[in-house]
Amino acid sequence: MIDKKSPIPVYYQLRNYIIQDIEKRGLMPGDGILSEREYCELFQISRMTVRQALSKLEREGIIVREKGKGSFIAIPTIEQKGLMSFTEMVKSKNMTPNTEVVEFKIVSGEEFSKILLIEPWEQVYKIKRIREADDFPVALETIFIPVKLVPNIEEKEIEGSLYEILKNDYNLSIKNSNTSFSAVTSDSELEDLLLLEKGTPLLKLESINYSNDPIYYEISYYKSDKFKLNVNIRHI
């Protein structure tokens, strides 16, 4: 289960083990996991290492830790389907989604190595797509995904839902995301591609999308006059 000689840090192996164990045993929010000392015993590792794994899981919102009690599966902070798949979101409004690929190439992943947990010399696909609803452009989406995760992906493949492609062709299902929202003013590239007036406000999303490990990084700009993004948030 845990290989101390692996180049992958022990605390990260333990984090992955715990996630898989939660899934395998079908644990639900509120259920407890082993205590820190039990993981020490189980894998013959130091408590500080276990705590590093649990801290990471806590920051990721997967567990909560309670003094004197133990660590428990967290109640999900947000439940949401629409934010994941542009395709589904558009369909749910009875409109027809469409995609136009404007850029598709392999670039250095150096700038994303920390985000995507890859080595700086590894390469990533850069995929820039205009997303349309009823042939009207509503978003410009740029995705960075390691080449090793989706080798030989082809341009015509990526005209559909990336979520579906990842799930069906590469067996990668996105389980959670960390998204930050902000507002920006259009620049000339966005105005050209999305057919905007000069100085249109746009909703900017930056998100890291995880299966267990990070899968892809995305920066998107949404026309938001007639298109809002909705999230349900469950507070802890």
Partner DNA sequence: TAGTGGTCTAGACCACCGT
Partner DNA sequence: CGGTGGTCTAGACCACTAT
Written as six digits, the tokens of 127 are: 């995929």
Q: Name which of 61 and 70 has its Cβ closer to DNA.
A: 70
Question: Among residues 31, 38, 187, 192, which is the contact residue for DNA, using CB under 7 A?
Answer: 38
CB of 20 to DNA, least distance (A): 17
How many residues lie near DNA (CB under 7 A)?
A: 25
CA-to-CA dists, residue 124 to 34, 89, 97, 109, 213, angstroms = 37, 27, 26, 5, 15
Residue at token pair 């045993």 = 25
Which residues 6+ apart lie within 8 Å of 236 measured at CB? Answer: 64, 74, 75, 77
Q: x/- string (CB under 8 A) for its own copies, residues 29-68? A: -------------------x----------xxx-------
CA-to-CA dists, residue 151 to 42, 106, 182, angstroms = 37, 11, 32
Window 74-103: residues binding its own copies (CB under 8 A): 76-84
Written as six digits, the tokens of 135 are: 């042939």
92 binds DNA (CB under 7 A): no
CB of 13 to DNA, least distance (A): 7
3-state SS assignment for residue 176: strand
66 binds DNA (CB under 7 A): yes
59 binds DNA (CB under 7 A): no
Question: Among residues 16, 19, 22, 35, which is the contact residue for DNA, using CB under 7 A?
Answer: 35
Question: Among residues 4, 81, 105, 148, which is the contact residue for DNA, using CB under 7 A?
Answer: 4
Written as six digits, the tokens of 64 are: 């909560």
Contact 223, 202 (CB under 8 A): yes
CA dihedral 107, 178, 51, 31 (to 10 degrees): -140
Q: Name which of 46 and 105 has its Cβ closer to its own copies.
A: 46
Q: Which residues bind DNA (CB under 7 A)?
A: 4, 9-12, 35-38, 44-49, 51-52, 54, 65-71
